[in-house]
């Protein structure tokens, strides 16, 4: 038996939060987007509008849809306004920040609210153990770009209420996505499997024998939709590095998963990819 979800709040209006909010509003949900940075909210609103207009010009969305969809989204930097049946957090990939946010939201909301984390690599069990109502916590891991990618990894802990799982599962399907169950292991399924794709490519470039462009061209011609450098620029080099470090540490530091110094340099230089206008490529 699942419960009714009327209002959803997406926390964090960055790369993922904006895409998730667009998906929900397009599916007809009244959506609140919360971020601590007003500039981030503004960027998200602009990005969603641009994506919707783009979908209309490609014939994927009916003319005149942009306004209707945007009307379903409210943007706020006021935590007190965050009242919802379901929260999807897509804030910074830091355990203490996610724990603090869920505990603050639990104080403000009814006891049936569901708290879903979009973490790429942190332990959902570890997170839920530190929040007020662990039975209401679940992992819902969307993929980038969230408005296009169908897959959502669904992660439960031993404490997740089965009704929360049923509700989250039905809700993921209701927004046109494909839920898959996975265990609460470092990187879940996709981020674990994909790690060597990024790291081996970066190691190759570190030798100085090939360029990021060459590696991307070869892998794209072999059938990958995006080469590893294009893809990490889309993800955000900072996020990808944090995930690499997290998976590496949690698995006992295997050499083959050692984070790349090349990527660390990019992050130190602030070249985070598409979101900053430059990563391995310029945008
Ligand atoms: N980028 C990806 O490809 C990707 C894919 C799947 C999952 N994720 C996960 O999604 C989460 C967000 O990633 P992103 O790439 O969107 O990050 P991002 O850096 O683009 O955006 C994060 C946003 O969260 C806001 N924020 C930070 N702390 C906050 C707080 N306490 N309350 C409210 N807002 C806060 C920031 O202002 C920023 O706008 C991370 O947990 C990441 O691991 C990322």
Q: Which pLDDT tens digit goes with each residue over 148-204?
A: 999 999 999 999 999 999 999 999 999 999 999 999 999 999 999 999 999 999 999
Q: Does any ligand 1 atom lie closer than 6 A to the CB of residue 139?
A: no
Q: 135: CA distance to ligand 1 center in Å?
A: 24
Q: Is the pLDDT of residue 41 over 80?
A: yes
Tell me what pLDDT residue 3 has: 84
Residue 1 pLDDT greater than 70, yes or no = no
What distance in Å separates the CA atoms of residue 161 and residue 40, rounded to the nearest whole number?
Answer: 33
- Distance between Cα 203 and ligand 1 center (Å): 27
**Is residue 151 in contact with ligand 1, taking CB distance under 6 Å?**
no
Rounded to 10 deg, the angle between the 261-268 and 237-250 helix axes is: 140
* Whole-number percent of the chain with pLDDT over 90: 99
Positions of CATH 1.10.1040.50 in the chain: 191-276
pLDDT for 2 = 78
Class level of CATH domain 191-276: mainly alpha
Rounded Cα gap, residues 131 and 97, in angstroms: 12
Mean local confidence (pLDDT), 210-232 = 97
CATH 3.40.50.720 location in the chain: 7-182
Query: Looking at the annotation, which residues are catalytic?
Result: 120, 141, 153, 191
93 Cβ closer than 6 Å to some ligand 1 atom: yes
User: Span 7-182: which CATH code?
Assistant: 3.40.50.720
Total-model pTM? 0.94
| Distance spanning both ends of the chain, measured CA to CA | 47
What is the 143 CA–ligand 1 centroid distance (Å)? 12
Angle at 237 between CA 234 and CA 240, to 5 degrees: 90
What is the arrangement of strands in the sheet containing 86-89, beginning at the earlier edge strand? 73-76, 30-34, 7-11, 86-89, 114-117, 137-142, 151-155, 178-182
Q: Answer yes or no: are the C-beta atoms of 194 and 243 closer than 8 Å.
A: no
Do 149 and 142 touch, CB atoms closer than 8 A? yes
- The single residue listed with the structure tokens 């993800």 is 235
Q: Closest residue (by CA) to atom 1 of ligand 1?
A: 235
């Amino acid at each position: 038996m699942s419960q009714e979800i009327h209002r959803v709040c997406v926390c964090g209006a960055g790369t993922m939060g904006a895409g998730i909010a667009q998906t929900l509003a397009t599916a007809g949900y009244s959506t609140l987007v919360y971020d601590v940075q007003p500039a981030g909210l503004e960027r998200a609103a602009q990005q969603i509008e641009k994506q919707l207009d783009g979908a209309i010009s490609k014939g994927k969305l009916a003319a005149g849809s942009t306004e209707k969809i945007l009307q379903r989204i409210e943007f706020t930097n006021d935590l007190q306004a965050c009242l919802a049946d379901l929260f999807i957090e897509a804030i910074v990939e830091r355990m203490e920040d996610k724990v603090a946010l869920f505990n603050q939201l639990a104080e403000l909301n009814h006891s049936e609210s569901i708290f879903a984390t979009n973490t790429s690599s942190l332990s959902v069990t570890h997170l839920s153990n530190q929040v007020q109502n662990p039975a209401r916590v679940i992992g819902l891991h969307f993929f980038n770009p969230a408005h296009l990618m169908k897959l959502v990894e669904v992660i439960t802990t031993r404490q997740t209420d089965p009704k929360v799982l049923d509700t989250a599962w039905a809700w993921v399907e209701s927004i046109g996505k494909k839920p898959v169950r996975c265990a609460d292991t470092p990187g879940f399924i996709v981020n674990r499997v994909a790690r060597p794709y990024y790291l081996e490519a970066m190691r190759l470039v570190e030798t100085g024998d090939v360029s990021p462009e060459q590696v991307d061209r070869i892998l794209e011609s072999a059938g990958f939709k995006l080469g590893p450098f294009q893809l990490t620029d889309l993800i955000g080099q900072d996020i990808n590095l944090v995930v690499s470090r997290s998976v590496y540490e949690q698995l006992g530091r295997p050499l083959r998963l050692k984070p790349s110094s090349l990527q660390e340099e990019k992050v130190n230089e602030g070249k985070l990819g598409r979101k900053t206008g430059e990563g391995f490529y310029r945008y």
